[in-house]
Amino acid sequence: MYLCVRLKKALHFYILMKPYLLLILLCWSTAGLMAQKRVAPTPEQVERVVRTTTGVVLTGHNILLEAALRSAVEKKWTLTPVVFIDTAEFNRHIADANRTFLLIVGGTFKDDDAQNGYTFLNLVMGGSLQLEKLADFILWPITCKGQDEDQALLLMEAFVDIIQNHIRLLQQNPALARADMDTYNIYIPKLRDRTILLAAEDLSAPIPDEEMQRFDGRLKIVDRTEIADAITDGRPNTVVGITLYPIDDRLKAPYCYTMLIACDNHELLYFKRHKVRNPKQRGFLKEELRRITIPFKIAEP
């Protein structure tokens, strides 16, 4: 539904076209280009966001994802008053600066010939009929072409919490509104006293024994059922590794997202996006795992 979105002028196509625009921007990796093109919220907008009413836009394009989003918001959303709206109501209120909107959006990267579609949760603030001028608080990846949506359904509550926690972090430091999401990697030291669960399918290559030893027994390679159970149970002191990448061998610069999320409070402790130039780069890379071992090395006597 959301793939290969074509630019259209009509306002009611906004939900499908905006991610295309955003993903064109995201395909440029430098912070400078991002800063020039992305409409980051101003400090005033960051301060005011908690006083808005958030419209969760349900379009009917993906019934399962939207049902999971609605359930997660009803259970977890505490940041603002919330209402559930359709596309027509979104169009009526898009210029209202006292409104924010949480949408499921999608598109493809500019440099991806295979047209691997990605789907995101996007939180924007109203205030303009010019779509490109809406303040964009977060664009959070949830699934992509070829991957089973079960992971996104399982993690929807965690994703909703991550979005809310991100807004609270921005309120503490509005300057982070212009930063990349890998800013969260400053929390890697928090991994020290937690067990990390990774599925073998989420690794770009098997981890050698000597690398495993660096985790001081805290890294466990498990199956996806164990990861699902840990998330569902809110297992304390446990972090799960999540990956997001297209299952398509016609590779030309699609992207892989890797993240570490705490099971009990859904705290985001690691986030990275890297290009996949060959199938061996799908999942957590060797250099990422070495970076994650840093807190364990520091704690060694």
Confidence of residue 272 (pLDDT cuts 50, 70, 90): very high
Q: Is the pLDDT of residue 275 over 90?
A: no
Between 224 and 18, name the one with better pLDDT.
Answer: 224
| Residue 26: partners with Cβ closer than 8 Å, 6 or more residues away | 34, 109, 139
Say what the pLDDT of residue 271 is.
96
- Name the helix (H) or strand (E) containing 106: strand 99-108
> Are the C-beta atoms of 241 and 259 separated by less than 8 Å?
yes
Place of tokens 């060797």: 286
Place of tokens 């010939």: 113
Say what the pLDDT of residue 143 is.
92
Place of tokens 């928090």: 190
Nearest to 54 by CA among 123, 139, 155, 115: 123
Q: What is the average pLDDT value for the chain, to the nearest integer? A: 83
Say what the pLDDT of residue 27 is.
29
Q: Is the pLDDT of residue 227 over 90?
A: yes
Confidence of residue 89 (pLDDT cuts 50, 70, 90): very high
Amino acid occupying residue 115? Q
For residue range 25-80, list pLDDT tens digits in order. 332 222 222 333 568 999 999 999 999 999 999 999 889 999 999 999 999 999 99
Question: How many whole angstroms separate alpha carbon 179 and alpha carbon 84?
Answer: 29
Q: Is the pLDDT of residue 110 over 50?
A: yes
Range list of β-strands (E), 154-267: 195-199, 219-222, 238-244, 255-262
Say what the pLDDT of residue 116 is.
60
Say what the pLDDT of residue 112 is.
66
> Are the C-beta atoms of 176 and 169 separated by less than 8 Å?
yes
What residue ranges of the chain are covered by domains with CATH 3.40.50? 11-178
Confidence of residue 130 (pLDDT cuts 50, 70, 90): confident
For residue range 149-195, list pLDDT tens digits in order. 999 999 999 999 999 999 999 999 998 888 888 889 999 999 988 99
Question: How many whole angstroms separate alpha carbon 59 and alpha carbon 66?
Answer: 8
Domain 11-178 has CATH 3.40.50: yes
**How buried is residue 241: exposed, middle or buried, by Cβ count under 10 Å (0-12/13-18/19+)?**
buried
Say what the pLDDT of residue 144 is.
86
Residue 202 backbone zone (phi > 0: left; psi -120 to 50: alpha; other: beta): alpha
**For range 207-221, the mean pLDDT:** 91
> Are the C-beta atoms of 295 and 217 separated by less than 8 Å?
no
As given in the structure block, the two tokens for residue 201 are: 């399918």
Range list of β-strands (E), 187-295: 195-199, 219-222, 238-244, 255-262, 268-275
Say what the pLDDT of residue 64 is.
94
